[in-house]
Chain A
Amino acid sequence: MQLTVWTYEGPPHVGAMRVATAMEGVHYVLHAPQGDTYADLLFTMIERRDKRPPVTYTTFEARDLGTDTAALFQRTLKDAYERFQPQAMLVGASCTAELIQDDPAGLAKAANLPVPVIPLELPSYQRKENWGAAETFYQIVRTLAAPVHPQVGDAAGAIPANAVPGHPPLPAGISPSRGEVGGFDASPGASSETQDPASQSGLGAKAGSISPLVGEMPGRAEGGDAGIDSSAEPEKRAADAHGEAANFGPREARRPTCNILGPTALGFRHRDDVAEIRKLLGEIGVVVNVVAPLGASPADIGRLDEADFNVVLYPEIAGVAAKWLKRTFGQAFTTVVPIGHGATRDFVAEVRRLAGLPEAAATGVAPRSNLPWFSRSVDSNYLTGKRVFVFGDATHALAAARVATEEFGFTLCGLGTYSREFARDIRAAAKAYGVEPLISDDYLDVEEAIAAVQPELVLGTQMERHIAKRLGVACAVISAPVHVQDYPARYSPQMGFEGANVLWDTWVHPLVMGLEEHLLGMFRDDFEFHDDARPSHLGAGSRISTEPERATTTFATPPAVPPATRVGASADGNPINLDWLNEAEVELKKIPFFVRGKARRNTEKFALERGLSEITVETLYDAKAHYSR
């Protein structure tokens, strides 16, 4: 049993709800007790959706147990089908129903509904929300985009649920980790011109490969994947579906196409990210075939194979499905998540390469976001080396770490994620940045880690916002889970060039601005510069003491009580009593609150290492000199 107060992720069926709610024409019947209906409010209140999620709960009770919970499930399924007339249904169990083992999959099969019914097996006692979303999306794609599939929505052509081949669920231990597209380097300039078939061979082949372009793509090179039919079959079928001639017109007439995969309901800025990336792709000249799951119908899922490649925005959710699509249809997928200016440029380069488009002229083009110039502007000097702690889902945490260091000039002092599935990626990145990785879904661990490194800015989730508030540290939110205030009214993507602008504004905003910071340092005695003063551009709100347990030792005037004594351990392990002399305490107090904790710790460490038991003003400044080297 894990003792927990707040959780970063909900149970896996909430992930399934995020997928179902994002889609059109899908209905999810969940075998669950009544309290589980709370999940609706996540969508209607936190995301302010104007419709109920397309979910029907069986709400079984104790008196149903052992008698007819299975019958209740079947009745609920039938009623839900009749009332909502979906084009496809999802069925599954919540944590409680998983224990009573009614087998929703089997029951749904027996119900013989005239639409595809996709059973979800989401192990509630092992897995969590993002995994559930990934597995759900994967099962939907496998079922509805399968190489031989009925025309969804066409009742005559639809196969009944019991004819849908059962796909083995993802083994619980699988890591839907990021890209396997293969060893190319996506950084700008690295994309190879020679690899670009379209620029060299001009109009490509017609039949014989899925598209004239993808044939040469890195992903396609690894042959031998079961399910890839090297004939033109999928392409032909796609064309047939559109009533077009089976053979294509000249190459110029057809622009490369892609799907955008991963955005769901209740995602952090997913809707705005999609709009931004769609615009970006349009500018590059790539047509978006389907966005899924957000806004996709089952019929749209059936058209996924028509695209040349896939853009994976959120690997946590779409990674598994993208890999299946690659194996099955040979669609390569993007591995760069376009968060930040640099990553967006890398993303553009990767997309151009996957699309077989010539590399964009790298020089002479004004940067597409204001971030590079704002960051170079002299007023931003004060940002240099500010210590930031980054925590979130793996995608956003990794992206934030890069942006923070490369684009803001911050120093990373901590990097972590609650997505255990991506622990490896975070560990590798943390190593590269020279910080300790933190893989945990216990917010108390995170709080401890943040308190220990005393950052000046925390980039995290709503949990870290609370933690930062308690510790009196500035914070900006970069990742789910988020609260209602993180669904802003204005267009506010995290991705693309506009997303980079948003990052700039959001991350700089909570900080004390450059000159103000200096003034705070110079005139500590100004009565308006007390510790509870907020940065002047931020409104009401008061800081909670950074050092609650030490509050009694930080007096602005020499206290009447004896100076604080704390016990440390010297290098050889012997305990030493550390005395902060009054003048030293007072001097420490003159240091602005956002660096004071750090100064205190450094001074004590310095004293311990030298076996000093008394901390004087001299010690304080000796330590300052020592650590500023």
Chain B
Amino acid sequence: MLDVNLASRAPALAPRSSDAGVTVAPLGPQGRLSLRIKPAALGDDTAIDGFDLSGPINSRRSAGDGAATRTALRLGPDEWMLLCPADDVEERSEALAAALNDTAHSLVDVSHRDVSFVVAGAEADSVINAGCPIDLALAAFPVGAATRTLLGKAEIVLTRLAEDRFTVTSWRSFAPYVQGFLVEAARHQL
């Protein structure tokens, strides 16, 4: 493996307290791979390097735990965001590229493009709905749902981990805006 990325990285954001029942916590570094591939080219073989690509559009599929966690967010008909631990991303990238060697695809490491937050608490859905117009009722956006959408003026990727627990991911330069928006919304939730 090439030693190409030796810079030490400062965290994009410091945590900010909302002083409220809903917490908005920045997640640490995470491995993120953007995969584009036609489902027809994928065929029935929907498990690639431990990533489960079988989910319907706008769903989250996670396998393994700890250092072996592999999560696949299906964001469109031919688009997945693959998540893994940050120090595992180069290995996963090489293994995926090898597994898809004979298939037309695009695989890009976007780990440092995004910042993720966990928004948790009983009113987490209404905090997100303060700036996101999609229906977050459990029937419409169940646990395991994942989609690209909007929060205020910023594009986000929203996933539901549990009834009262979401991840919100935005591009790095939008992250202070997204953090401020969510913390402010949580303050007004009291």
- The answer to whether A and B belong to the same complex is no
A-binding residues in B (CB < 8 A): none
